[in-house]
């Protein structure tokens, strides 16, 4: 089972790096990866989209196969949104799905004796 983690950072779409939004990525084994933004990406509604980010401690993060789960506008005018990510890559930026390729894979089983 994976450990939970949390990253605060700045997030953007690969095609629009100048439109950055602040937010927090949280992962728990039960809920998966949820990105909560103070703001929104208007043009990401369907699955298979990529969101890029950099955490407050300098880690590059790619969220892959994302879709919006929630959007809220409060009065006076604060827009928030949440996205679910099917895959999270910490330590790398991938601009498109075709770029996500690996030469090696390492697996560690903690409960095998």
Q: Which domains does the chain have, with CATH numbers?
A: 5-99 (2.30.110)
- Judged by average pLDDT, the poorest of 15-24, 30-39, 99-108 is 99-108
More confident residue, 13 or 101: 13
Report pLDDT digits (tens) over 35-57: 999 988 765 555 558 999 999 99
Using CA atoms, how far residue 48 sits from 67, 68, 75, 91, 109, in Å, is: 7, 11, 32, 20, 29
**What would the mean pLDDT of 81-101 be, rounded to a whole number?**
91
Share of the chain above pLDDT 90, in %: 55
CB 82 within 8 A of CB 113: no
Stated pTM of the model: 0.83
3-class secondary-structure state, position 99: helix
Measured from the Cβ of residue 93, the count of other Cβ atoms closer than 10 Å reads 14
Alpha-carbon span 83 to 50, nearest angstrom:
11
Beta-sheet strands, E only, within the chain: 5-13, 16-28, 32-38, 49-55, 60-74, 78-90
């Amino acid at each position: 089972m994976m450990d939970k983690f949390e990253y605060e950072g700045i997030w953007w779409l690969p095609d629009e790096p100048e439109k950055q939004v602040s937010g927090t990525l949280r992962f728990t084994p039960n809920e998966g990866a949820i990105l909560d933004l103070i703001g929104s990406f208007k043009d990401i509604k369907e699955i298979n989209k990529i969101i890029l980010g950099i955490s407050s401690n300098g880690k590059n993060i790619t969220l892959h196969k994302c879709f919006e789960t929630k959007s809220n506008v409060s009065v006076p005018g604060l827009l928030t949104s949440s996205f679910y990510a099917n895959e999270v890559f910490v330590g790398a930026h991938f601009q498109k799905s075709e770029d996500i390729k690996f030469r090696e894979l390492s697996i560690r089983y903690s409960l095998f004796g």
